[in-house]
Chain A
Amino acid sequence: MNVIEASGLGKRYGGTWAVRECALAIPAGHVAALVGPNGAGKTTLLNLAVGLAAPTAGIVTVLGGCSAGSPAALDGIAFVAQNTPLYKNLSAADMVHLTRNLNRRFDQGYAQDRLGELGIPLNRKAGHLSGGQQAQLALTLALARRPRLLVLDEPMAMLDPLARHDFMATVMTAVADDGVSVLLSSHVLAELERVADYLILMSAGRVQVAGEVDDLLACHRVLTGPAAEAGEYAERSCVVHARSGGALAHLLVRTSGPTDPVPPGWDAHPVSLEELSLAYLRAPGAAALPGPARIRNAERAEVAK
């Protein structure tokens, strides 16, 4: 089952495409990181997925085929928006009660235990809680719904390092306990590197890279060798990004797997997730998408013609 599937997805605000020609298929059971620079369209993509925004083009389905925003989708997806909007004048207890009233499923015991563990006073107004507590409250409300997919938009932007750790620990515990799938966005890859096992890289409204982190790392490597041969090598294989000095060149290449032969005279190094992301973000034309999604995207393009 794919928790989110999109094809030909586009969203235009005025004359600007915030998201365009987006093809995605995120399998269930992953903690997926949606990474990209500010303004890349991450929030728009998440809004499309949770049904807050309607697509201008293409389709997006969630939880194995429900259309985004449908009753079944709303029931199974919990969303914590950027800056965790809460009703500032309601107490934590009221927020719990309100969210419970708005959902078919709500684990009241979980919510109360969590807030107790976190030391969040139930009678304090949400607006008077610290940023970290507000984020934790919003997260607790989301998790108490026992969602199948948890969507978090820039969840840690406003948090200090300790609060970030605690926040992510709560999310990861829920993943371990319930097997909830997670999709979370950030413009800082480093803060998601430890938690994400699926990466979606976005820039300028397009999905550039999507895939399991292990697969992505396995099929990319950095080759270091004589700059004179770099051009020749680039013709024969898929170079994502090249940096070249007078004598020495570093090529980040996409291979068919770790067993790909290394050309003589060159050194191969494994690539880190951050290095890989930066390379793609610097090369907006490059893309590494899973086969089926690309094919579907191409089909849509055909239809559009």
Chain B
Amino acid sequence: MAGPTSPIEFRLDPASGVPTYLQLVHQIEHALRLGYLKPGDQLPKVRDAVASLAINPNTVLKAYRELETKGLASGRPGQGTFITATLNQVALPELAGLRRLLLSWLTAADAAGLDDDGIVALVTSSLRDFRDNSGGSGAAGTTKKGVA
């Protein structure tokens, strides 16, 4: 039911506890990061998103406004909302290198006896310390912003 012009379709996780509009924002950011969405792509029309998800149109509008605030999308009167920027600032080859590094670190963590939850906790707290020390930079800041 999604608009034929949009490359993505939304889904909702009722159990996540994350507000619906934020789920939409996250999905678009995720799609941007992974290259499913590029500048110029159209986001699902409000009516189509509403019809397929059975949610309040204001929720979709709110998600799109959030994206506009972040400078990721902009609305064109009478046409819809379009992607204007990208989050995928790292080229794919670089991404592959980083992934290799992370894998070797994970092997070490595993050998040290950390389980999955321990690894996630360690990464999360290290990332926070890193951001706190460096004052925060780059696109990573967008993920937590906006939680009421």
Q: Chain A interface (Cβ within 8 Å of chain B)?
A: 31, 165-166, 168-169, 171-173, 175-177, 194-197, 214, 217-218, 258, 270, 272
CB-nearest residue of chain B relative to A168?
B54
Closest chain B CB from A35 CB (angstroms): 15
- Asked if residues A172 and B55 are in contact (CB atoms below 8 Å), the reply is yes
B56 within 8 A of A: yes
Q: Chain B interface (Cβ within 8 Å of chain A)?
A: 12, 14, 17, 20, 46-47, 50-59, 147-148
Closest chain A CB from B51 CB (angstroms): 5
Interface SS of A by simple majority: helix
CB within 8 A of A195: which of B14, B56, B147? B56
A194-B52 CB under 8 A given contacts A218-B148, A258-B148, A272-B17:
no
Can you name 10 A-B pairs with beta carbons within 8 Å? A31-B56, A166-B54, A169-B52, A169-B54, A172-B51, A172-B56, A172-B57, A175-B50, A175-B56, A194-B20
Closest chain A CB from B55 CB (angstroms): 5
| Chain A residues in 8 Å Cβ range of B55 | 172, 194-195
A194 to B59, CA, bound (A): 8
| Chain A residues in 8 Å Cβ range of B50 | 169, 172-173, 175-176
Closest chain B CB from A302 CB (angstroms): 37
CB-nearest residue of chain A relative to B147?
A270
CB within 8 A of B54: which of A165, A218, A258, A270? A165
CB-nearest residue of chain B relative to A182?
B56
CB-nearest residue of chain B relative to A164?
B54
- Asked if residues A217 and B148 are in contact (CB atoms below 8 Å), the reply is yes
| Chain B residues in 8 Å Cβ range of A258 | 148
CB-nearest residue of chain B relative to A30?
B58
| Chain A residues in 8 Å Cβ range of B46 | 176
Closest chain B CB from A275 CB (angstroms): 10
A210 to B56, CA, bound (A): 18
CB within 8 A of A197: which of B51, B54, B56? B56
By Cβ-Cβ distance, the 10 closest A-B pairs, closest first, are: A168-B54, A176-B57, A169-B54, A172-B50, A176-B47, A176-B50, A173-B51, A194-B55, A195-B56, A165-B54
| Chain B residues in 8 Å Cβ range of A173 | 47, 50-51
Closest chain A CB from B53 CB (angstroms): 8
A168 to B53, CA, bound (A): 9
| Chain A residues in 8 Å Cβ range of B20 | 194
